[in-house]
Every structure is written in structure tokens, then in C-alpha cells.
């Protein structure tokens, strides 16, 4: 064991203990007081009988990807049971309503030896699947000691993380040596992980987010919104962040000058920022959280709810993906609109999903737009049906290709389930 790992294992419980009050407060505020013990490894549900696969992702995006992967695993082998864990209250709101037979959800245990030990003692998984950059040394050490097969899927390590692990090769080999199978979503992660885990089976080439099921939409809600909007043209700004809404609202105001019936559906990444966003504009605004539908006077429909993005992608002629207009956020999952055949654009700051945007852009499925030229970019596409249709078809083609690759991964994962 190398010094960095020794230091981490000594520091982790102390650092987590300092963060715990904040974690508990956030969970209590979101209505999850009764589930706080889950973060300490205390299960709130019984373990189902039979072989159990544990799938873990950080938050909503990773959780939804793993939810689809779990469904695919059960479709291939219906006897399997799947436990899905996430770490955020947002994911705990979005995922449970979408669980199907054989799937259960818990908050993930914090990365302390005691919490992880309690978790594994109760759940006794026959395979552990971690997603993207969820590399927790204490958890991986416990999985090794328990002789539980472990896979890393959709691996994506940032440039800084890759450089860090390369500077600590002994620690990296100890940590990544826990994985028997590593599936990378980009070439940079694959190439480095190949050197850090030379004994692991390595797969590369597809992002599981591309192969996930399309985001759902309540049929009754969708019909009501269609009826309320009528024939008005609609554009959507999805998963926006602080600093972006000002740009988007200013662009919408300019667009209304030539297109007075145009409706903007504004979907903040964090719906609890709704009051703050309302203070940014004097345009006529309605809020989804109040139950209001957009009427003829509504210029901006503020979608300040969780788990309804499937509605907004289906309603909009064109979507602007947020998290990309200002530097420092890194962009969001571009496959969600692509899977629904929605034409979409993005700002240039998409480092967190750069390979995905590169593939979609090269195929003609999306465009990068200048944050200072939103009006022209949005107007050009809103009223160009042929170009939007071409973009949607290109995205759908890439999604089909990724789904075929996902099916091969499912078979390799099932082969690793411990009897």
C-alpha cells in the first residue's frame, strides 16, 4: 500500500464526519430524513433473494443511465435483482418513480470503512458496477476483501484526474486493479486506464448515456401542454445555470420582436433557483410548480420541477442545452434530446462531454453556438424545418449505433456475476 492511499484512508472518515451535518441537512430539507442512515450503510430495505447486482452512480444523469443498464441486465437474465445507489437528493427524487420489477434504490454509503462494511454485509452483491468517475478507495478495498467482482462502466476521468493518477502509479494500480472489467466512454480515459489496470478486460467506444431509454413523459401532462400551447412555436433552454438565464432571457426578448407568439420553456438545472430567475425578467412568466399551464399571454414558461425533461424536449422545436454558455460548468448530456429526435444546440463550453458533442457535431446532429449571438442562431433554426429534421435524424442514427454496442457490454457483465 502506498502512502497516498494510507493517507486517504486515514483522512476520509474525518473529512466525511465534517461534511456529514451538511449532508444530513440537505437530505432532511428534501424530505429524506428517514433515509439519512442509508449514507452510513444502514439499509432501509431487505435484501431480495437470489443473485444481486449493485449499480452505483453519482447523481441523476448517471443514475438514469444505470437504471437503463439494470433493465437491460434483467431483460437478458430475469432472475437477476438490481440495487441502484446514488448520492444526491435530486437522484433520489427522480429515480424511484421509474423503478420497475426487480430494481430497488438506496442512497450510497459514504466512503468510510464502517459505512461500506455495513452496506456490503447487508446487501452481499454478486457483482458491483460503478459508473464514470465514482472511484472510492475504501469502497473498492472492501469489495476486494469480500471477493466481489467489480466493473467500472462509462469510465470518464477528467484531464486533471488522469494526470493525478499518472503521478501516483502505485496507488492507481492498487485502486484500479480492483476492477475486472473497465468500459471507457472516450479514448483518453481508455488509454490511461489501460496502463493503470493492465489485467482488466478493457472495452471502449460507446457512451452508455447514448443507449439509455428515452426520457419518459406523462401522456396526460403532455396532451394538456400541447392543448395549452396550440400552434405557437416553442424553444427550450434546458438545464441552465446561474449566468446563463440572463443571456437566454435577453435573447428571447429580442426574438419576440419579430416573433411575438414565440414561447420559451426555461428549465433550470436546479429548480430551487426559480425565485432568483423570476427576478431577472419582466417578461410574462408562468411557473410549472404552481400547476399553471402557459396561456396566450405567457412568454416564458418556467419549468421549475424535477423529472419532467422528457416533456420539454417533446414540446420544443429546438432546444438549447445549458451548462455550456458560460465557462466552468462543462456542459450536460447531449444524448437525452438526441434519443427523442429533438433538434438541439449548445454553447461552446462542454468539456465534461466533449467526445459526445464532437461525435454529434461531426454527424450534423447538433451545432455549437456563440453565447453572444443566440438570437441569430435560434431564429435561423426555429424556422428551418428541413435543417432541424436532418439534425434529428443524424442524432437518431448515432443512438442506434450506440445501443448495439451496449448490448455487447450487458453480456460481458452478466458473465461476471458471481454465483
- Please identify every residue annotated as catalytic: 62
CA 409 – CA 184 distance, rounded (Å): 11
CA 370 – CA 402 distance, rounded (Å): 29
DSSP for 102-163 reads TEEEEEPPPSSHHHHHHHHHHH--SEEEEETT---HHHHHHHHHTT--EEEEEE---HHHHH
Residue 333: which region, alpha, beta or left (left: phi > 0; alpha: psi -120 to 50)?
A: beta
Enumerate long-range contacts of 344-348, CB under 8 Å, 24 or more apart: 344/318, 344/319, 344/320, 344/391, 345/318, 345/319, 345/320, 345/321, 345/369, 345/377, 345/378, 345/381, 346/320, 346/321, 347/320, 347/321, 347/322, 347/371, 348/324
- Contact, 360 vs 338, CB < 8 A? yes
CA angle, 387 then 389 then 393, to 5°: 120
Amino acid at each position: 500500500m502506498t502512502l497516498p492511499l494510507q493517507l486517504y484512508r486515514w483522512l476520509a472518515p474525518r473529512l466525511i464526519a465534517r461534511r456529514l451535518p451538511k449532508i444530513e441537512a440537505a437530505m432532511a430539507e428534501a424530505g429524506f430524513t428517514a433515509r439519512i442512515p442509508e449514507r452510513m450503510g444502514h439499509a432501509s430495505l431487505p435484501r431480495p433473494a437470489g443473485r444481486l447486482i449493485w449499480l452505483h452512480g453519482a447523481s441523476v444523469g448517471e443514475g438514469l443511465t444505470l437504471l437503463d443498464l439494470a433493465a437491460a441486465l434483467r431483460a437478458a437474465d430475469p432472475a437477476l435483482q438490481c440495487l441502484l445507489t446514488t448520492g444526491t437528493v435530486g437522484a433520489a427524487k427522480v429515480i424511484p418513480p421509474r423503478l420497475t420489477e426487480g430494481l430497488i434504490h438506496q442512497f450510497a454509503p459514504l466512503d468510510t470503512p464502517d459505512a461500506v462494511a455495513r452496506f456490503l454485509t447487508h446487501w452481499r452483491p454478486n457483482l458491483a458496477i460503478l459508473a464514470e468517475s465514482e472511484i472510492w478507495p475504501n469502497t473498492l478495498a472492501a469489495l476486494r476483501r469480500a471477493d466481489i467482482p467489480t466493473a467500472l462502466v462509462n469510465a470518464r476521468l477528467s484531464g486533471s484526474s488522469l494526470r493525478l493518477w499518472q503521478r501516483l502509479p502505485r496507488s492507481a494500480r492498487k485502486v484500479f486493479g480492483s476492477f475486472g472489467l473497465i468500459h471507457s466512454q472516450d479514448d483518453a480515459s481508455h488509454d490511461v486506464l489501460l496502463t493503470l489496470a493492465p489485467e482488466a478486460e478493457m472495452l471502449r467506444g460507446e457512451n452508455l448515456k447514448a443507449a439509455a431509454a428515452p426520457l419518459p413523459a406523462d401522456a396526460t401532462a403532455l396532451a394538456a401542454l400541447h392543448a395549452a400551447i396550440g400552434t405557437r412555436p416553442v424553444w427550450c433552454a434546458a438545464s441552465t445555470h446561474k449566468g446563463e438565464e440572463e443571456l437566454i432571457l435577453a435573447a428571447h426578448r429580442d426574438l419576440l420582436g419579430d416573433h411575438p407568439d414565440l414561447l420559451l420553456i426555461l428549465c433550470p438545472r436546479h429548480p430551487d433557483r426559480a425565485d432568483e430567475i423570476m427576478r431577472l425578467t419582466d417578461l410574462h412568466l408562468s411557473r410549472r410548480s404552481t400547476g399553471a399551464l402557459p396561456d396566450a399571454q405567457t412568454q416564458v414558461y418556467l419549468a421549475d420541477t424535477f423529472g419532467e425533461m422528457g416533456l420539454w424536449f417533446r414540446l420544443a422545436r429546438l432546444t438549447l442545452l445549458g451548462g455550456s454558455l458560460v465557462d466552468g460548468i462543462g456542459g450536460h448530456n447531449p444524448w437525452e434530446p438526441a434519443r427523442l429526435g429533438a433538434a438541439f444546440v449548445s454553447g461552446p463550453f462542454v468539456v465534461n462531454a466533449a467526445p459526445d458533442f464532437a461525435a454529434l457535431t461531426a454527424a450534423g446532429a447538433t451545432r455549437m453556438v456563440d453565447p453572444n449571438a443566440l438570437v441569430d442562431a435560434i431564429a435561423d433554426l426555429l424556422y428551418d424545418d428541413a435543417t432541424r429534421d436532418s439534425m434529428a435524424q443524424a442524432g437518431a442514427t448515432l443512438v442506434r449505433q450506440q445501443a448495439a454496442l451496449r448490448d455487447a457490454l450487458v453480456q460481458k457483465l452478466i458473465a461476471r456475476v458471481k454465483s
